[in-house]
Structure 1
């Protein structure tokens, strides 16, 4: 059986349709670079030009639009490695990507709540979930059944959003995504770190994924589910704090401090650190609203540590690394990549800071949006040419 890289090299069509990561990474980044400034423009009083852009739209497009596209790009590339099956390429990939694009347009239309609008936006994740189930079941890749389950839950959550359960659905979706980060991050971060440390001649390695890691993931999923159902309670807050502490313990075992010379590695550790910070802040916010007087940590601080921080940093970390690897380039970060990492982390820091300092809230939002846009524009500038051209020959 040919490897995924060999199958990509054998593809004779347009380069951008030779692998799932290519169209989805590129255009989801374009969407992200445009979407956040557009939202801030509308939020600050700008003309919506007939588009129904509000806070629900912003949350939906971050989770189901941008992130849905990145997850598709990652899994359509990773699943063939896991199953040994042929990757989705060519016309089937173009159709799947087209469904994603149609969904983005549908969400900008005034009639997005109509039956047609719901179908157009929901089609992509439903079809994508079916593709993942087909690949994992046909490839008998039972280890990754939880991935298929979570993609299915993401598709169902998107439908739930359109059925009117907006706020709870957004919280549930965020919980699904963060559990996915804990699951996949807990596999790839220690694995990539181990490979790099071996080449560097180090002796002490991160531990392999084991039952303790599984226990932490279960605690994290349960804590996030509890918060999604009842966002303000002693139980929700305590569960989130416990999840944050346990994930911090996991991260401390992965030898992140030893990877300081390779940005492609330490950025993964930083992205996971944002997950820890976000869970702790969200737990403090949940507990703080129960006690009297209310605590000093607002819910928005935790939410944006998890979205702008954990999701933003982790997605760019994975996109840059996998783009280099799957296009035949050395796994090392250049100056442009380092700038991207600095910008996205700065955007997260400023966004969390804005939530903690109400007197500078609006200016913080604007600065954070500008930094976010520059980070993704930087990805498009540095990695766009790599995504649309053929893989380098070995």
Structure 2
């Protein structure tokens, strides 16, 4: 896994691909997309086993807390790492992390998952210590690259990663102190949503414009302007209010305004024109959960929606659906495949979107909660399993430039 001889495409950015060693560790998206998807499957299967009484684990930490943690900081942090380790070199023009450094970074993430799952055997404190290494390490790498590349505008992305690292520490602290980590939940979700607002606003109109242009049309999305900046700023304020004052009328008003602005922002990207290509359309569908999430926050703040339903609208809809969308698009693009969704990919999209609608419904239909839990779990497993079936071979094999 040597990094001494990077590959360079003519006229492009040097990619730093390792010429020796496993292809899996030649580029950040490869191990982290695959590892993240596999852990999304395994963590959900373990949680279902715990709910049904088949397995007993993380009893000292709390299996319920373990589940929430591994959804927010386990699989999701891996997918985020895969994206950032691939995108940041594009933004900065610097070589990506590859070979042995990438292997050791992945080992930090995987070691955290194993240690945390084995917390009853090794002790909660040691498990927490092992888990808390990865996100700061990823943050350091991203800040180092952004600063070295003098891409100061991209520091706002590292701010989201910093918030996520702090949320992870707060989560562990609150659980160990015997408290429910509600505020840590909200901080972590806010960090992901903030990243979706910022990065989504960069890639969704860009990919949409490219696709529309390829069709020979000119009805492009509205370019980034002050409206987008204002929408992001108000969205961040609304998320801050939600973290601090989840049941305040001020939060309800702020989130309602943010919902309206982000719905308008999404409309300006003309997503309805892309529905013939689900690889592009899913980005718009996933982003639609941003205004839906803000609407859920607003209604939850005044007691009309269950707070747990609000969490799942955002964690499954905004976060997981966008991650599945980005993983499929980035994998196809960076392995030289055609940028079009297969039947399996489209089914995977449908499953995660249906899961995003199904799981929050448990709070609205408590008499059918058990059935809803089962259905949403199956949909989650189906989405990520289909991703692994189709995309694992692309991730572990050589590129096709």
Give the corresponding residue for 1:371. 379
Contact 1:37 1:370 in 2 (8 A): no
Which of 241, 246, 254 aligns to 2:261? It is 246
Deviation at 1:53, TM superposition (A): 4.6
Give the corresponding residue for 1:118. 128
List per-residue Cα deviations over 1:200-253 (Å, max 9, x = no partner).
122221111122111111111111111111111111122111111111010010
Give the corresponding residue for 2:82. 73
* Structure 1 position 144 matched with structure 2 position 159: no
* Structure 1 position 255 matched with structure 2 position 270: yes
List per-residue Cα deviations over 1:272-304 (Å, max 9, x = no partner).
0112212212211111x2xxxxx3x22222221
Give the corresponding residue for 1:362. 370
The 5 A counterparts of 1:49-60 are 49=57, 51=59, 52-60=61-69
Which of 116, 119, 133 aligns to 2:143? It is 133
The secondary structure found in structure 2 opposite 1:7 is coil
Number of corresponding residues: 386
* Structure 1 position 195 matched with structure 2 position 210: yes
Give the corresponding residue for 2:104. 95
* Structure 1 position 234 matched with structure 2 position 243: no
Runs of 5+ unmatched residues, structure 1: 290-294
**Distance in 2 (alpha carbons) for counterparts of 1:143 and 1:56:** 35
**Distance in 2 (alpha carbons) for counterparts of 1:47 and 1:200:** 52
Deviation at 1:27, TM superposition (A): 1.0
Report the CA distance shift for 1:43/1:16 in structure 2 as closer, same or farther (over 3 A). same
**Distance in 2 (alpha carbons) for counterparts of 1:156 and 1:384:** 32
List per-residue Cα deviations over 1:14-64 (Å, max 9, x = no partner).
100010000000011011012123223323444314655532222211111
Give the corresponding residue for 2:3. none
List per-residue Cα deviations over 1:167-196 (Å, max 9, x = no partner).
211111111110111111111101110111
**Distance in 2 (alpha carbons) for counterparts of 1:66 and 1:29:** 7
Contact 2:57 2:63 in 1 (8 A): no
**Distance in 1 (alpha carbons) for counterparts of 2:339 and 2:78:** 23
Deviation at 1:137, TM superposition (A): 0.5
The secondary structure found in structure 2 opposite 1:107 is helix
Report the CA distance shift for 1:324/1:25 in structure 2 as closer, same or farther (over 3 A). same
**Distance in 2 (alpha carbons) for counterparts of 1:330 and 1:314:** 20
* Structure 1 position 321 matched with structure 2 position 329: yes
**Distance in 1 (alpha carbons) for counterparts of 2:172 and 2:227:** 37
Give the corresponding residue for 1:43. 51
Contact 1:304 1:348 in 2 (8 A): yes
Which of 334, 342, 347 aligns to 1:334? It is 342
**Distance in 1 (alpha carbons) for counterparts of 2:207 and 2:122:** 42
Report the CA distance shift for 1:112/1:301 in structure 2 as closer, same or farther (over 3 A). farther
Runs of 5+ unmatched residues, structure 2: 1-6
Query: So what's the TM-score if we normalise by structure 1?
Result: 0.94
Query: So what's the TM-score if we normalise by structure 2?
Result: 0.92
Give the corresponding residue for 1:31. 39
Deviation at 1:270, TM superposition (A): 0.3
**Distance in 2 (alpha carbons) for counterparts of 1:17 and 1:258:** 37
